[in-house]
Structure 1
C-alpha cells in the first residue's frame, strides 16, 4: 500500500524565498529523520508565504500508512512558522 498526502501550508513572518526555503527545509528534515516517508515541495515555488508539501509512505497495510502520515501531519501542525490548510490523501 502506498499512501500520499498533499498539504498546503501558509508560512508566516517570511519576507523572501530564502526565508521560506529555510522554514521548509527545517520541516522536511524533521519529517525525514523521524518518520518512514519521503517528502518534497511540490507547488508554489515562487510564492513567499505559500507552499505545498507532498508526503509519501509505503507499508503492507493501509492502517500503518495512515498512522505514519497522521504522525507526520501532527508534526507539521506543531510548527509555529507554518499553518496547514488544504490536505488531500491518495491511496495507491
Structure 2
C-alpha cells in the first residue's frame, strides 16, 4: 500500500484515498496507521511530499514552479507555503543551502 501511495504521491492525495487503497474505512485506517507507524497518515503524506520536493528542487534546471506543478499543488504560492512550514526555509533558500555541482 505504501509503495502505491509513493507512486501516486501528490498534493491531491488524501487520507481517504489511502484508506481506499488499503480497502478499509477512513477511521479504521487512521487508527491502525497511527498504531503501526507512530504518526498519522496525514503526517506521513506531508513528510513524503516534502522529501520528494527536496529531491525535485535540487534537480538541475528545475524551477520552483515546475516542482509545484509536478507535485500538483494548486499554486506555486501554496507549494512555497507548504515547504516553508515543514523546512523553515523557502524553496529558493533551500536550494541556495544545497548548491548542485
TM-based fold match above 0.5: no
Greater Rg by CA: 2
Q: Shorter-chain TM-score: which interval?
A: 0.3 to 0.5
Higher share of residues assigned strand = 1
Q: TM-score, length-normalised on structure 2?
A: 0.33
Q: TM-score, length-normalised on structure 1?
A: 0.36
Higher relative contact order (CA 8 A, sep 6+): 1
